[in-house]
Chains A and B, each alone.
Chain A
């Protein structure tokens, strides 16, 4: 096992990109300002210097067209990592993603594969307003044929990016830009986290909090608060949304008998509903309370300093809701 070092989330993803690009000459990067400029979030810094413009391709602002080209390149031997600057803009590639990338392996009966990664920065914060703050991960995860991952920690970001690049299917990789400066221990050298494996971040007895991406950290903070009230919360991070590690999630809920699902995307018809229903289907007889869903507010994400913080749950609110659930007050 290689030794860990402490680096940021941003640096961890970059480490995976360097590693995979050195390992496999078919890995190419495509995106806006990712070349000499190093990316608007400095998320591709240094790649251009090492791999040049042939492999780190600065594209025009033509998301739909560039992504369509990436799909064609993936069908013919490349492993493109296509970057959508802000997650809000995945709407612009939806046709290529839904009608082409997701189905080509199926429609061609395996004659053509589409091994590509869409990476995109999502998340509320920094007052970027309604068109630069959304987490639209519920969109691609609805489509058979796509895989969707959403790492919460630097180590998982590195390991899942490596796995996503090596996967022979289209994988959508959502990174919360508010996590970019988070520093944690990350294994050095090759580190691959299998797609489709959840992880228990903290063990507990009384309630399972299933939290996605940045909400994992909110859930861990809430678990600290709950401990002071003598409530023992287990925090589970699915890490991948498709495929979903149902077994790990359900095992935890069977143990604690209560479940809360927390996600930063819009609550309506979203991730929380799907996971809550899945847990209820598999662990109904073990549940002591209805599964609680906590999602992002169902409003466009407002710009103002007073309103933006209302969009996502914080640790206090999550702890309050968990307490009520455990004490039978819901």
Chain B
């Protein structure tokens, strides 16, 4: 074992290596925020059918982890997955097209937001089954171990999945087989409309990983640098053949469970307090204070991303819908 899960780790203060790196992280988070804002509008306008689950507020987790992954590393996402898809290099246009049910989407528009697969970028999919992506990422880690090319995989899931038996089964195997997988929990305090404390036993979710001897760490999920630092250690551990890690990232979703949710179960003061920890504001501030980026440079970045996403929206609206031929296509390989 490289580190004992029981040991309390004293985290060094996260720092940033260069202006370039800082702006890259900022860009990735801003892209997700802008994308989700557009999806929210399109959903409200009825342009996107069905339900969408937005991740505004949680960007630092997806970006922190994925910014350290190689193109051939793999992730599995959950139902709140647009951020994971983008952070792993997904194409904004194909992603939006799929969410809008267009034939130019990743799955010919037949999957939608809950079923976005991007093989070229190592994305094993968002999924409509809470906990369902966890074994897929772990199976990919089994392949990675066999293929011995040093690939790692990451499973993103919410606090709701902390109570799925599947998680424990899979953690057990990841530990005994020392699979190169990161279990990344985005603990946003709620599963749908129910607070995690009301449905989750034990003082700390970390115990769930520790029970299997998996190095486990609580992370400030509103700080992209803190996520990166924890992920760095976990990824190195996995690449070196030392098995899985468990990160519990404390975060908050600004929106409801799905776009359109009235959120009357949330405490207004608490919501406000979380906004003060906003991961994008936080990194922007740090970049400015440390002289790595000017106010003007950040404003220009924001504008550039807004333009980019708007252009994607305009294009997606005129892409074709699936045709009758697409109905049964790929039913079997």
Contacts and interface: CB of A to CB of B under 8 A. Distances in A.
Interface of A: 28, 54, 59-60, 62, 64-78, 95-96, 99-100, 103-115, 144-145, 147, 168-169
Interface residues of B, number: 44
B124 A75 contact: yes
Given A105-B330, A169-B333, A60 B172 contact: yes
B118 A109 contact: no
A115 B139 CA distance: 13
Nearest to B103: A109
B172 A76 contact: no
B111 A107 contact: yes
Interface in B46-105: 74, 76
Contacts of B170: 65, 68-69
A109 B108 contact: yes
B173 A59 contact: yes
Contacts, number: 138
Contacts of B332: 105, 145, 147, 169
Contacts of A66: 169, 173
19 contacts: A60-B169, A65-B169, A65-B173, A66-B173, A68-B135, A69-B139, A69-B170, A72-B143, A73-B142, A73-B143, A75-B136, A76-B74, A78-B142, A96-B132, A99-B132, A100-B132, A104-B125, A108-B125, A111-B117
Contacts of B119: 108, 111-112
B110 A109 contact: yes
Interface in B138-154: 138-144, 146-147
Contact of B144 (A59, A68, A71, A76): A76
Nearest to B329: A109
Contacts of B106: 108-109, 111
Tell which of A109, A110, A113, A168 has the most Cβ of chain B within 10 Å.
Answer: A109
Contacts of B136: 68, 71-72, 75, 100
A9 to B, nearest CB: 28
Contacts of B137: 72
Interface of B: 74, 76, 106-108, 110-111, 115, 117-120, 124-125, 127-129, 132, 134-144, 146-147, 165-166, 168-170, 172-173, 176, 329-333
Given A68-B170, A145-B332, A78 B146 contact: yes
Contacts of A115: 333
Given A69-B138, A77-B143, A78-B142, A108 B169 contact: no
B143 A107 contact: no
Nearest to B142: A73
A168 B124 CA distance: 17
Contacts of A71: 135-136, 139
